[in-house]
Amino acid sequence: MISIKKALLTTLLFLLYLGWAEAQIGYFEDALRFSQFRSTGSARIMGLGGSQISLGGDVSNIHTNPAGLGFFRRSEFSFTPSYGTWATETDYLGQFQQTKTNNFSVPNLSLVISRPKGPLSSGAFRGGTFGISFNRNNHFNTEFGYFSDFEGQTSIIDFLLRQANGVPESQIESMGLTGLAYQTYLINPITRDANGNPITNPTQYDSFVLGFPFQDETVITEGRTSSTNISYGANFMNKIFVGAGLGLISLNYSSFKSYGEEFFNEPLIDTRINENLNMTGFGASLNFGLIFKPVEQLNLGVNFQSPTWYTIDERYEARMTNNFDNFFFEPENIILRREEAATDIILGRWNLTTPMRFSGGATYFFGKNGFITADIDFLDYSNNSIRSRDFNPAPDNQEIRALYGQAFNYRVGGEYRFDVWRIRGGYGLYGDPFSNPAGFDRSMQQITGGLGMRLDKFYVDFAFIHSSFDQLYSSYTYIENGANIGPVISIKNRINTGMLTFGFNF
């Protein structure tokens, strides 16, 4: 079965590093997309910058550090609706384009069943708590685009010619976009040698389109990764809290890309490439945690998150449309006007193993007036691993090891308590997953704040989260003298999210 990514136009999200490589056609980008960690949870936790590893007694413990479930003394149900905007600003050749998308979701729905022991009960075990929750871990609902009033340095035709050269004409129609370019006369076989003799089944190609184009593209992505988590946390002597959990993760990702080039004084007026990709997957992971209270004012927490083992199915199709200026194509004695071709629907399956994650945290309480809390995570994104029977994953795994590296995430937050009211603030910094960033910073920053009200059997929390990070994107690569001279676009991402958690104790 053909590898979908061998059929895809090379898409280089989050990519600019020392030494571009021609082998950058693969699934390594998806591995990063589906393995990047962002702290999620209730509005209370998100108002604290996502800090929660050592902070027990919150429904977010179900999917982060299940040891925190041991702090519960009552059962609880909560749900969290949220609304957010994702704004992008692209810069290509000094020309800017802004796009904004809106998102509504319910990122957290949780149930906690607590069975504490009474104060007169003997023994070190002081009870335990069972929790089940639904969480949206990431979402991909965004849109960006770019355009140019200046001619680019290259055309996608240059990229397609490099992909085609060396491929026999009898095989080229099956090569995804390169095959579409052949079918629509964008690239054509060299059928005679230097002496004018015919070549049987030629392997070299050229194009009668020689100029540089004006380029544009729109990329729309949708989807999310969500998890259903089942966890248990136990309390020993009100000092040691341990927990474990199982996560069942669903994945859905789709992208639509429309790439175009426009020419002047050329046989080709314009070309348009539309691509549709959909991925669905299912995975599982394990979660273990410990929280220790050496003194009443201090919590120390550690957490281990196993890799997530995914199986992913995908579906891909593409269409190319070329409008020619009534060009007479002599080798076939035809006049070219509008030429279209589409790929077959291509199906594939592959497996992804994401990196394990180690986390630690500490919380200090100022009596009943509030607390400060901080977390740190460690991940090694080069430990992503891809397997498949449909294609050879070795080049992708080599790219993963070459591109990605170790990353640390930091989160800090605080809460001030006044009667039934809570005021919160926090900050998060998620490290760049690339091992050799070459001066481009892909880290994400989060600034958060929140308010809460706690009553005997009911609470409500609000949080506002501002996230910002930058990307680089290239529609295709064309390497010359070790540098990519294909279109490279910088993207600024700004995400603002408001969320409310409603909780009920029983």
Q: Which tens digits make up the pLDDT trace of 11-33?
A: 443 333 322 333 334 699 999 99
Return the pLDDT at 128: 94
- 313 and 347 Cβ atoms separated by less than 8 Å: yes
Provide the CA 340 distance to its chain's centre, in angstroms. Answer: 32
User: What's the angle, vertex CA 163, arms to CA 162 and CA 168, rounded to 5?
Assistant: 105
Please report the pLDDT score of residue 437 as a whole number: 63
Closest CA to 336 of 260, 266, 265, 268: 268
| All domains of the chain in start order, with CATH | 4-155+209-505 (2.40.160.60)
pLDDT at 56: 93
DSSP state of 176: H
Strand partners of residue 36: none
Neighbours of 421 (CB within 10 A): 11
Structure tokens at 95: 């020309």
What's the whole-model pTM score? 0.88
Extract the tokens encoding 426.
């926090």
Extract the residue ranges of the chain whose pLDDT is less than 70.
1-26, 437-438
pLDDT of residue 25: 47
Measured at the alpha carbon of residue 383, what is the angle toward residues 380 and 387, in degrees to the nearest 5? 155
Nearest to 341 by CA among 289, 403, 274, 387: 274
How many angstroms separate the CA atoms of 417 and 413, rounded? 14
CB of 382 closer than 8 Å to CB of 400: yes
- Cβ neighbours of 254 (radius 10 Å): 16
pLDDT at 195: 87
Q: Are 212 and 151 in contact (CB under 8 A)?
A: yes
Please, what is the angle between helix 28-35 and helix 394-403, to 10°? Answer: 60
Three-state DSSP string of 203-242:
CCEECCCCCCCEEEEEEEEEEEEEEEEEEEEEEECCCEEE
* Dist. CA 296–CA 430, nearest whole Å: 30
DSSP label of 404 = B
Comparing CA positions, the residue from 69, 39, 35, 71 lying closest to residue 52 is 39
Helix 176-183 to helix 156-164 angle, to the nearest 10 degrees? 100
Token pair for 273: 């490439």
